[in-house]
A and B are shown apart, each in its own frame.
Chain A
Amino acid sequence: MNIGIIGSGNMGTSMGKIWAAKGHKVLFSFSKDQEKLRAVAAAAGPNARTGTPAEAVAFGELVRLSVPWAAVPEALKAAGNFAGKTLFSCVNCLKPDFSGLEVGTSTSAAEEIVKLAPGAKMVEAIPPMAQILATDTHRLDRQQISAFYCGNDPAAKASVASLLRDLDLNPLDAGPLTSARYIEPAGMPCVQLAFGMGMGTKLAMKLLRDRTDAERSYV
């Protein structure tokens, strides 16, 4: 798959490198430091290159948005027209001090983003911490981490789910795009534990379904 990546922080680059290694074609964009961006693409190998956000959109069947919440309007303005594109957002509308979310409950970062990208087949997925994705294994306790995704276009969602599996994550369909109102804050307890409670960033949530009959019969 051709993947355009807008955003050159830990999240965008660590995922992009893995997808490039898996055989996807990746175009990195949107950095204040073009040298750094070129170094990231070089490290990602022959399947990676750099360009502008508009080029990322033109190049990608799927466009990954992973910029800070405050940078979203600038990034989307630079990206131009998303009509018909799958837009895969990992943006959580974190306050700058990580103390909470800027918007929520009656709307979500995903729903606000798609207003700025009319016609996009928007999918949101909240992945584990970039610090986990930056290491060799994405498993904790040797188990896969769950990553929720949501959106309104089934084919676009299937693409995103497949990319999440490439990252050795356990993708979970949380429903339509309005589910972003839940999956965005649901990612926050881990952020709070890591940064608010000093537990460090090597933690994540997994959804468990397998249990023994004895465990299931609780009364």
Chain B
Amino acid sequence: MMKICVLGAGNVGGTLGRAWARNGHDVFFGVPLPGDAGTQELLRTIGSKVRAGTVAEAAAAGDVIVLATPWPATKGAIQAAGNLAGRVVVDCTNPLKEDFSGLALGHTTSGAEQVAEWAKGAKVFKAFNQTGFNIMGNPAFNGQRAVIFVCGDDDAHKPTVLKLAADIGFEAIDAGSLVIARLLEPYGMLWIHLALVRGLGRDFAFVLHRREKEAS
């Protein structure tokens, strides 16, 4: 069991928090207005193992801090969280332009690297930016598990983040160091583009196939 601080209680944060609570973790949502109707309704439907507070309160309590904010709110959330030096931060954001038409940053840097610069000293990982919240709720497709890639520079805490993804049913794959977020963010953008622009809807995901798994 872990104490998980989820900053943001929207579709992504709410779904991840619900899934972790269901799997025995203690979830603490950090939001600007913990008492508002939407957040209270979320707590009510999740039931036990969950609460909400300000960003600073939630961030103080978590073994892991999960960033599930819209990109424009991300810097403010990190500032409100206080000193994150030494903390494990999982960045689920995509630095989307406001009209979802593309990424505001990329290739020579990434949202995750920007987050690491803002969250001085934190052990930042990128994950959960690559599929929709509905898939995070249950990543199974006829029993096959959708893949989530995790990248980050802190090897000591990477197993923790991988386990959080596995706990809610993903195949969790270590994709390497934090600079790999430069790839995972446009990869996340592809999911968004297919779902929202190409009309595939939200009910699809990517699975990783390896020939080693095949019967010979």
Judge if A158 is at the interface, Cβ distance under 8 Å: no
- Would you list which residues of chain A between 171 and 219 have a CB under 8 Å from chain B? 172-175, 179, 181-186, 188-190, 192-193, 196-197, 199-200, 202-212, 215-216, 218-219
CA distance A110 to B140 in the complex (A): 34
State how many residues of chain A have any CB contact under 8 Å with chain B: 49
Give the residue of A172, A190, A200, A205 whose beta carbon is less than 8 angstroms from that of B207: A205
- A14 CB, min distance to chain B CBs, angstroms: 16
Given known pairs A100-B182, A173-B198, the reply for A211 and B203 (CB within 8 Å) is yes
Q: Measured between alpha carbons, how far is A106 from B147 in the docked complex, in Å?
A: 27
CB distance from A101 to the nearest CB of B (A): 6
CB of A192 within 8 A of CB of B134, answer no
A39 to B202, CA, bound (A): 47
Residues of B contacting A209 with CB < 8 Å? 141, 200, 203-204
Question: Using a CB-CB cutoff of 8 Å, which residues 149-179 of chain A contact chain B?
Answer: 172-175, 179
Once the chains bind, are A199 and B210 in contact (CB under 8 Å)? yes
Closest to A178 in B: B102
Against A, the Cβ 8 Å flags (1 = close, 0 = not) of B124-168 are 000000000010011011101011010000000000000000000
* A interface majority secondary structure: mixed
Return chain B residues, CB-CB under 8 Å to A105: 102-103, 105-107, 186
* CB-based contact A140/B209 at 8 Å: yes
For A99, give the chain B residue with the smallest CB separation: B179
Q: Which of A185, A197, A200 contacts B183 (CB 8 A)?
A: A185
A104 to B174, CA, bound (A): 23
Q: A101-B107, A189-B149 are in contact. Are A208 and B206 (CB under 8 A)?
A: yes
B146 contacts A208, C-beta separation under 8 Å: yes
- The complex places the Cα of A205 from the Cα of B206 at a distance, in Å, of 6
Q: Is B212 close to A, CB under 8 A?
A: yes
The one of B105, B144, B197 that contacts A175, using a Cβ cutoff of 8 Å = B197
Whether B198 contacts A215 by the Cβ 8 Å rule is no
Inter-chain contacts of B102 with A (CB < 8 A): 105, 181
CB 8 Å contact bits of B189-216 with A (1 = contact, 0 = none): 1100110011010011111111111100
* 8 A-B pairs closest in CB distance: A218-B137, A202-B211, A105-B106, A185-B186, A140-B209, A218-B138, A182-B190, A208-B141
Given contacts A181-B102, A199-B210, 15 further A-B contacts (CB under 8 A): A105-B102, A141-B211, A145-B209, A172-B194, A173-B198, A174-B190, A189-B180, A189-B187, A192-B180, A196-B176, A197-B174, A205-B208, A206-B207, A208-B206, A219-B18
